[in-house]
Structure formats: structure tokens, C-alpha cells
């Protein structure tokens, strides 16, 4: 049975780990989020603060061994942070855990842990790896658009490529800001679509063996600063599993597009149904509680389409 409101859906020219995960969780969620590009009107301070921290972290690797100019990377990091976490935004969303001063403390802690002979890894220049994009978030960010054997490319952005300082292995590097710095938090990245897809994409883009992804979690708190590093190894057979998963989800999306039917996975509205414990309810649940989802469409915003520019002047929407 065809879903009403299909005119609001737009087919994609790409796949991303997050979009694939949305469909794996619930086809209707993919329809709302990725096909119609609906998003909640409220901007969450935690997400905006995390985005601003990400923008500054890459600057902290610049100028290492600069002969007494240790403040320069911190200054650059704060400038990058301030471009996203504006004064107006901070005044509108006062938060003792998320503000300019807390960002400076996080950057100082990170910089101290990544000086020469202290860091677990050394950043690798993204030159020649991945695709060129005009809006790179940090100097070391890698954007990719790789062929995984589907009709669409797999696209995304990775915070950094790093070389392990002891083993010489290449690793993807992903930074995560979190209010819960625990083994439970970082263990959630074992066999995660993001880690597996990023490792696969890096291996295809660089033509070199990628050991996995190093998750570096940074604590967001009122007073404390801390971090936790977890290297997540990806074995060869997991690359095959990842490709099979991508193809499976892509077939699922095409079947929904061809039929015009985007079923609701009612077991995925809340983690309690699937995992026996409560958690974040799906952002689009209220659309599924009414007979016609379009009656509540205006309670969301429609995000604009962005262009993901490839190196050969090809383009696909991001």
C-alpha cells in the first residue's frame, strides 16, 4: 500500500553510514529523515557544542614542536570553535558544561595528551586520499565517495587518518564528545556501522590496509576534563560483512521506493522494545501516531540539500 505524501520524498544519489543505519532501524524513519529531509526545529546544544569542538581539534595538531609557540594551536582551535559556537548561541543556551571556557579546558587537555612522544598516533595528511570538498571542517578531515559495488557511492567524512606511533598501522580517528565517559559508552562502537563503513571507505580510498578506527572520547562536564581512547580493530571478514550489509539495506531502500510503501518498524521506536531498556525515542514518533503524517509535517523543518563535490567534477547530494 502506497504511503500518502510521496511527493515530499526525493531519491538520493549517495549512501552514507547514518542514512543506511536509519533505514536499518526503520524504513519510515529513513523516509522522513533522509528522503524528506525533515529535522526537529529545536537545535540541541550538545550537538552544536560537539560540532564546534570537532572543528577545533584538528588545529591542535598543527605547529607541533614549534619552539615555544604552544599557544598558537590553542588560539587556532578556539577561533575554529567560535565560528560555530557563536556568542549569540551561547547567550541563548547558557550551559555550565558547554561554553567557551569549558571548550578551552577540553582543548588544553587534548593538546597536552597529543604532544610529541605522548600521543598514540600521528595524523596523516589527507592529501590524495578521498575527495576534495570546499567546506572541510578541519585540516585533517577526510571526505570520501567510494564504490562498494552498488548503484550509488558510499559517502561520508572521517575526522582523521592516523598512523599508530608504535605499530606503524594506519587507523581512522574519530572524536566523540560525551557526558558519560565509560567503558559502556566506547564499547558501543564495536561492530558499529560507522566504524565498519569508515574503515572500509578508508581502505578503498587509500589503497592501504586500515587496522580499524580509534575512538577518542572527550568528557563534557562542568569542572572535570578527561578522555578515553579505544582502538576498535576491524578484521578482514568484517569488511565482507559490511559490504553485504550495505547491499542488503540498499535493496531494502529500492524496494520501498519502487513500491511506494515505507513500513513502520514498531519495534524500533524506543530501545526498550528491542533491548529491554529505555532510551531516546525516535525523533519522528509523533508523525507515526497520527493517521496522516503530513498533518504534523510543519512541526519539523526541511533541511536544504547540500552538494558533495567529487574530485572529477562529479557531484552527488549529501
How is the chain split into domains, by residue range? 6-41+247-307, 45-234
Query: How far apart are alpha carbons 256 and 154 in whole angstroms?
Result: 19
User: How many CB atoms sit inside 10 A of residue 97's CB?
Assistant: 14
pLDDT at 316: 41
* Mean pLDDT score across all residues of the chain: 88
Interval 236-295: pLDDT, tens? 999 999 999 999 999 999 999 999 999 999 999 998 888 888 888 999 999 999 999 999
Find the distance separating the first CA and the last CA of the chain, reported in whole Å.
29
pLDDT one-digit tens code per residue, 159-187? 999 999 999 999 999 999 999 988 888 88
Q: How many CB atoms lie within 10 A of CB 278?
A: 9
Per-residue pLDDT at 313 exceeds 90: no
Across residues 77-95, what is the average pLDDT?
Answer: 80
Of the ranges 48-52, 91-95, 147-151, the best mean pLDDT one: 147-151
Q: Please work out, in degrees rounded to the nearest 5, the angle formed at the alpha carbon of residue 12 by the alpha carbons of 309 and 250.
A: 115
Q: Quick check: 131 pLDDT over 80? A: no
Confidence of residue 92 (pLDDT cuts 50, 70, 90): low
Whether pLDDT at 232 is above 90: yes
| pLDDT given for residue 309 in this prediction | 52
3-state class (DSSP) for residue 149: coil
Model confidence, pTM: 0.89
Backbone torsions φ then ψ of 178, nearest 5 degrees = -155, 145
* DSSP 8-state symbol, 191: T
Spell out the residues 6+ positions from residue 225 whose beta carbon is closer than 8 angstroms to its own. Answer: 105, 106, 108, 109, 219
- Strands across the sheet with 121-123, in order? 121-123, 160-164, 170-178, 210-219, 227-233
Q: Please check the confidence at residue 192 and state whether its pLDDT lies above 60.
A: yes
Amino acid at each position: 500500500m502506497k504511503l500518502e505524501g510521496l511527493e515530499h520524498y526525493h531519491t538520493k544519489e549517495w549512501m552514507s553510514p547514518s542514512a543506511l543505519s536509519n533505514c536499518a532501524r526503520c524504513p519510515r524513519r529513513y523516509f522522513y529523515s533522509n528522503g524528506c529531509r525533515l529535522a526537529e526545529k529545536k537545535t540541541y546544544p550538545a550537538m552544536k557544542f560537539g560540532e564546534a569542538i570537532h572543528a577545533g581539534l584538528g588545529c591542535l595538531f598543527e605547529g607541533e614542536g614549534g619552539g615555544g609557540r604552544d599557544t598558537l594551536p590553542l588560539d587556532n582551535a578556539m577561533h575554529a570553535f567560535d565560528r560555530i559556537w557563536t556568542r549569540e548561541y551561547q547567550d541563548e543556551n547558557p550551559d555550565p558544561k558547554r561554553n567557551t571556557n569549558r571548550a578551552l579546558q577540553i582543548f588544553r587537555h587534548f593538546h597536552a595528551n597529543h604532544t610529541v612522544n605522548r600521543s598514540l598516533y600521528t595524523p596523516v595528511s589527507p592529501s590524495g586520499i578521498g575527495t576534495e570538498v570546499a567546506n572541510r571542517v578541519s585540516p585533517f578531515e577526510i571526505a570520501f565517495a567510494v564504490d562498494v559495488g552498488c548503484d550509488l557511492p558510499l559517502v561520508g567524512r572521517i575526522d582523521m587518518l592516523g598512523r599508530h606511533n608504535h605499530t606503524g598501522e594506519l587507523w581512522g580517528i574519530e572524536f566523540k564528545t560525551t557526558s558519560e565517559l565509560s567503558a559502556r559508552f566506547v564499547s558501543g562502537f564495536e561492530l558499529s556501522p560507522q566504524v565498519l563503513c569508515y574503515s572500509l571507505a578508508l581502505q578503498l580510498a587509500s589503497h592501504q590496509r586500515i587496522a580499524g578506527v580509534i575512538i577518542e572520547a572527550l568528557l563534557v562536564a562542568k569542572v572535570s576534563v578527561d578522555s578515553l581512547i579505544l582502538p576498535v580493530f576491524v578484521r578482514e571478514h568484517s569488511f565482507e560483512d559490511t559490504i553485504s550489509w550495505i547491499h542488503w539495506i540498499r535493496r531494502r531502500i529500492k524496494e520501498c521506493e519502487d513500491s511506494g510503501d515505507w513500513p513502520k518498524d514498531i519495534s524500533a521506536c524506543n530501545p526498550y522494545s528491542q533491548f529491554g531498556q529505555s532510551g531516546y525515542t525516535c525523533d519522528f514518533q509523533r508523525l507515526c501516531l497520527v493517521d496522516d503524517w503530513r498533518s504534523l509535517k510543519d512541526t519539523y523543518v526541511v533541511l536544504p540539500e547540500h552538494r558533495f563535490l567529487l574530485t572529477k567534477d562529479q557531484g552527488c547530494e549529501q
